[in-house]
Structure 1
């Protein structure tokens, strides 16, 4: 019986090739979008799935309150390690101190590579359950050891055996390779940990870290833990919550609250607002999940609309079948079989579309998704997906067509009814409501991105290059290198700084100044710079003066930004002092000599943070900042800079970043979301237009004789076009009136996540409405004009 259903379904589909092509094409597009979004969502939800104990691994976070505003982050003080090991060890299976992900030069023979990794305590490989390919899992046992990822070991040693080989780090010290581990996959934390070295080695080489052993106010470290088997993350959080507050009076005023932030939330739920977890990338998972569902729904609506629109053509077939004994359930099965066949063909085409677009989609979304050919779960879900889609798409047509009375049909008295087209109209309205909402959402997302991009940066990022200076080879050579680079003609100004131009690496408090309010808890972005910093960045001095090498007293001078001026409540800042409130070992007071224009160093969607620029008298720079010669091409300048660099640092790889590129990365996530939304919106509109095209074609065919009569009586092409188009335009207008308030509510809520955002204006919605109407007119006009231009003789000769 089922075979017979399929055979008849195939004949019906083949007989109506145009209708079949539109149905299968629309469904294939909808299913392809849903498949791609499904794979993207699966990749997002399985982030950190490489780590088997990801539900028991966490990072220690703390929340601190400054002037009634609570900030939350992973930075913790070093003494916390001893406090947790001594008093709370039973709560943890592993407790690991770690550096931030940092760059190091790794050298072997003539090779020198710049790689990123972590200095971590001995338990890290076991906690993360790294897949050790060579060597020992306890590879961080010895002080002078290093564990390398497979790709780094290959790059350094080629086909040589890496275990036991000596690697030079930053031309400063030697370590021995004790293990090679499998590269951590792309969609996981620590995937950029290309090497692991012992935490104690970093402590031994950094005096400031050794000095921080008892300093509770220095939140410059991070800690990862794996909780004990007999407890939960919530219980451990409740136990350690007030450890820092209870053990240190100096920081108790900030009400520090510790908690364990589980690994499963690191990627998708990493946003905090005033001490509360408020989501994160999970909103994009929901967003694209909803988009995928709606796009598939649009494709299903096309199927239902076209199937019910053809009801009169199939009425006689239903009448004959019923008159010779067909039961309604048999007819329903017949129509569902047609639906299943359409969906099956559409799914096959959708898979082909996904395979062809996978590389482009990965480039667009910055993913490494592959098609899951070998996943039994995927194919099981696909079968269920096909059956459900066939049921959703075919249920209404099956129930509708099988309800015809055979007597009325065969006597020729069957009429579809006054309101027979109402369901189709409702479905068209739903289609275009979704499409218009997508258009509005995409416009607002892109407008928000451009709004942030056009925000004044505060400095000239064009032609600005930064070179990392992490190696000891750079120590004490700043003046020499500045002279060399300036003399080369490729650089017109150069400075050094402790943080990159586009980030803040340090925050400090504990200062007093004239007029400071009682109980005020300051939090200042802290950057140490050489005197040429403002000149190299073209940073504008709005009050006072810049640093000068001519004034020896400038070694204890500072610049503040405009936000800091307001934040500190200073009226006449020049000449005022910032004094260290540490009574036991105070540093010399810092004199404010100038105010610089605000520059965006963090998120361009957030307010600029209050910042202090301090004269670097200790040589703590981490970057050279170079202003390129504008009279030469960038490639010429960089070639010259590289030759000078190699002359002085022949054993180090030449690394650099254009600051405008690094700044552009701040928009990467939003731009990807905006671009993907735009692509999915275009596909949603295309699917809706396919359905509209099919319906217009059917209506034109259904009213062929009426159009012929009208033309004989003098109707113009415009009259016929207007007759066929106005009903569809009315439906689209209704869709717009429904979509606008929904879009306003949703997008206004989305914009509230950004303190610096666009204002929703009427023209955005007007543009979407005009676009929807234009798309509708273009889609409908093709068939309408074709019908209007048809020879009326051909349509009336049978009358």
Structure 2
């Protein structure tokens, strides 16, 4: 019986090839989108699960109150790890101190490359359950040792055994390879950690850490922990809350540091904090795209339902004959379900092919490394189940509807579907275009928000601005290098800075000024810069002057941004004194606000001070009259000559700034991609439905033409019903989209407004797309020879 059902289903597909292709194609696209989104969601939810201790690893973070707000940060004092071990060690298996992940020059013979890595306490390999290819997880016990990834081992040693080989780090220290670990997957928070060196080596290279007068006074390291087998994350987090508060001075109690554990399971999806409260993060995108995937699949199923019920008259006699010869209704239902399941299975096979072809481009847009798990039985079992479920979902209404026909009326030829039979189809069309129009509006809002932030004044000129890392050799010859490059026409200005122009690497407290509330805790970005920094980046002075070589006292001065002046409450700020760690600094200038951090948030109060010591970043303004490639080549030759132990690896500041929009751009691109597919699926169904309506009204059109109806009149008659349905869908979609857009924009402090043209453009676009889709069939039907139309039975 089941075999017979599928044979009949296959014959029906062959008999109606056009409608079958539309059904299968529409379902395949809908299922393909759903599979893509499912793979993306699985990858997101699987973040960091490579590490076997995933559910017991946490990062030690802290909330601090400053500038009137509670801020959350990952950085800790270097003493944090040891203190937690000493006081709460029984509750933890590991508490490890670590540096930030940075690029390091790694040299072996004539091979010299930049590799990202961290300094970690020795138990890191055990905590992260690194899979060792060579050596063991105990490889960091000696100070001059190093663990490297498989990719790094391949780069330097090829197929040779790397164990025991010596590498030179930052042209300063030699380390021995004591282990090689499997490359970490792309969906690991530690994926960029290509080399791991001992924490003791970091301390030996940075003597100032152990020589600090107040080891709790500076936050510059990271702390990771693995809780004990019988410990509970939330209660343990509350237990260690005051570990820092109990160690800092009474004056620093104003910052009210509250230490807590942020579980690895939340690093990816729940990474955003506001006023000390976790407000989510990427989990919003999971819900967003998951919902889009469900809706796109529903759109494809609606096409199937519409076409199946629209063609009901074609199959009325078939149903009548089957019932007359004894078929039960449940058998007819099974027959129609078998057809829909067959279509769904064929669509699933086609969808896998589509996903396979699209996945490389999707990975680029989504910044992923997703593969289809062809050898995974669970994937195929889920996929087949998904196809059957889709077939049942798409076929449930047609099966129940078609199997309900009265056999007597269908065989007499008196059966008519009735004037209300089209209402469900119209309702489904309205639902389709409501979803599609909502997606269109959402996509426009995302891009408008991105454009709004991109057009925000940034307070400096990033064009032609590049940055590179400072080394001691380069700093020692700074003036000579600057003069040589300027004489060669490669640059027009050069300076050093403690932080890149697009990031904050250092903040400070300990500031005081006349009229300041003694209980107020403050924390300002405080960037150390060299002379000419303002000239290099092109900041805009509002009051006072820039740092100058003509004034030796400028090493005890500040330049403030407008937000700092407003926050401090200074009137006529130039010449005022601000004390930093009890040392007086004179304000010599005020600049327009510079956008350093998030383009979606207010500019933080910030200050700059002059420091002639070596800093972290070189900033250079390329000569606009010189070819960029030629200028970079000249800079590289000079840098390599002066500092041969480090590769020249510059970054363009405009590219650094563009990265701030990465997440929103990915969201916008993916949203537009899914919106286009949703519109395509809706139009595919609309096209087939218009074709069927035109076919049903063939004789009517012929009679109207004989009576003098023009082609435009017939086109308007056949199109207006669909346009009305789309207008209704737009009236439903606009308030829904408005509500969702307001909710999404509420997460941004600096945000665009919801202009009326967004909704007008979406509605106009939906109507235009409808007319374009329907017009082909409408005009085709209108141009038919009426004599031929009237002869058609």
TM-score (normalizing by structure 1) = 0.98
Residue 591 of structure 2: aligned partner? 596
SS of the equivalent of 2:476 reads coil
Measured at CA, do residues 625 and 455 of structure 1 come closer, stay the same or move farther in structure 2, by a change above 3 Å? same
Q: CA deviation digits over 1:417-469, x for unaligned, max 9?
A: 22111110110000000000000000000010011111111111010010112
SS of the equivalent of 1:465 reads strand
Please list, as runs of the form range in 1=range in 2, the aligned pairs for 1:116-195 lying within 5 A after superposition.
116-195=116-195
Counterpart-to-counterpart distance in 2, 1:487 and 1:650: 22
Measured at CA, do residues 711 and 561 of structure 1 come closer, stay the same or move farther in structure 2, by a change above 3 Å? same
Please list, as runs of the form range in 1=range in 2, the aligned pairs for 1:2-21 lying within 5 A after superposition.
2-21=2-21
Contact 1:171/1:472 (CA < 8 Å) preserved in 2? no
TM-score (normalizing by structure 2) = 0.98
Q: Aligned-pair distance for 1:753?
A: 0.7
Counterpart-to-counterpart distance in 2, 1:31 and 1:71: 43
Please, which of 598, 609, 618 is the counterpart of residue 604 of structure 2?
Answer: 609
Please list, as runs of the form range in 1=range in 2, the aligned pairs for 1:371-770 lying within 5 A after superposition.
371-469=372-470, 471-581=471-581, 586=582, 588-619=583-614, 621-770=615-764
Residue 332 of structure 1: aligned partner? 333
> Aligned pair 1:367/2:361, yes or no?
no
Residue 25 of structure 1: aligned partner? 25
Q: CA deviation digits over 1:290-315, x for unaligned, max 9?
A: 11100000000000000000001100
Contact 2:80/2:223 (CA < 8 Å) preserved in 1? no
Q: CA deviation digits over 1:739-768, x for unaligned, max 9?
A: 000000001110011101100011100000
Measured at CA, do residues 720 and 299 of structure 1 come closer, stay the same or move farther in structure 2, by a change above 3 Å? same
Contact 2:473/2:642 (CA < 8 Å) preserved in 1? no
Q: Aligned-pair distance for 1:663?
A: 0.7
SS of the equivalent of 1:112 reads strand
Q: CA deviation digits over 1:344-395, x for unaligned, max 9?
A: 1111111111111111111111111111101111111111101110000000
Q: Aligned-pair distance for 1:481?
A: 2.2
Contact 2:60/2:262 (CA < 8 Å) preserved in 1? yes
Counterpart-to-counterpart distance in 2, 1:212 and 1:121: 20
- With 766-775 and 359-368 compared, the bigger mean Cα shift is at 359-368
Contact 2:345/2:384 (CA < 8 Å) preserved in 1? no
SS of the equivalent of 1:88 reads helix
Contact 1:319/1:409 (CA < 8 Å) preserved in 2? yes
Q: Aligned-pair distance for 1:204?
A: 1.6
CA RMSD, 1 decimal: 1.3
SS of the equivalent of 2:255 reads coil
Q: Aligned-pair distance for 1:202?
A: 1.0
Counterpart-to-counterpart distance in 2, 1:596 and 1:794: 80
Contact 1:244/1:252 (CA < 8 Å) preserved in 2? no
Residue 55 of structure 1: aligned partner? 55
Q: Aligned-pair distance for 1:221?
A: 1.5
Please list, as runs of the form range in 1=range in 2, the aligned pairs for 1:774-789 lying within 5 A after superposition.
774-789=768-783
Counterpart-to-counterpart distance in 2, 1:87 and 1:13: 73
Residue 347 of structure 2: aligned partner? 346
Counterpart-to-counterpart distance in 1, 2:436 and 2:546: 55
> Aligned pair 1:793/2:787, yes or no?
yes
Counterpart-to-counterpart distance in 1, 2:60 and 2:212: 18
SS of the equivalent of 1:320 reads helix
Q: CA deviation digits over 1:591-635, x for unaligned, max 9?
A: 11111121111111111111111111332x111100001011211
Counterpart-to-counterpart distance in 2, 1:447 and 1:364: 19
Q: Aligned-pair distance for 1:174?
A: 1.3
SS of the equivalent of 1:446 reads helix
Counterpart-to-counterpart distance in 2, 1:160 and 1:25: 52
Counterpart-to-counterpart distance in 1, 2:552 and 2:604: 29
How many matched pairs? 792
In the alignment, structure 2 segments of 5+ residues that lack a partner are none
Q: CA deviation digits over 1:132-181, x for unaligned, max 9?
A: 11123111101111111111122122333221111111111211111111
Contact 2:102/2:118 (CA < 8 Å) preserved in 1? yes
Contact 2:170/2:645 (CA < 8 Å) preserved in 1? no
Measured at CA, do residues 259 and 647 of structure 1 come closer, stay the same or move farther in structure 2, by a change above 3 Å? same
Contact 2:67/2:523 (CA < 8 Å) preserved in 1? no
Contact 2:68/2:521 (CA < 8 Å) preserved in 1? no
Q: CA deviation digits over 1:38-62, x for unaligned, max 9?
A: 1111111101111011110000011
Counterpart-to-counterpart distance in 2, 1:657 and 1:666: 15
Contact 2:474/2:639 (CA < 8 Å) preserved in 1? no
Residue 250 of structure 1: aligned partner? 251
Contact 1:170/1:472 (CA < 8 Å) preserved in 2? no
In the alignment, structure 1 segments of 5+ residues that lack a partner are none
Counterpart-to-counterpart distance in 2, 1:711 and 1:530: 84
Q: Aligned-pair distance for 1:650?
A: 2.6
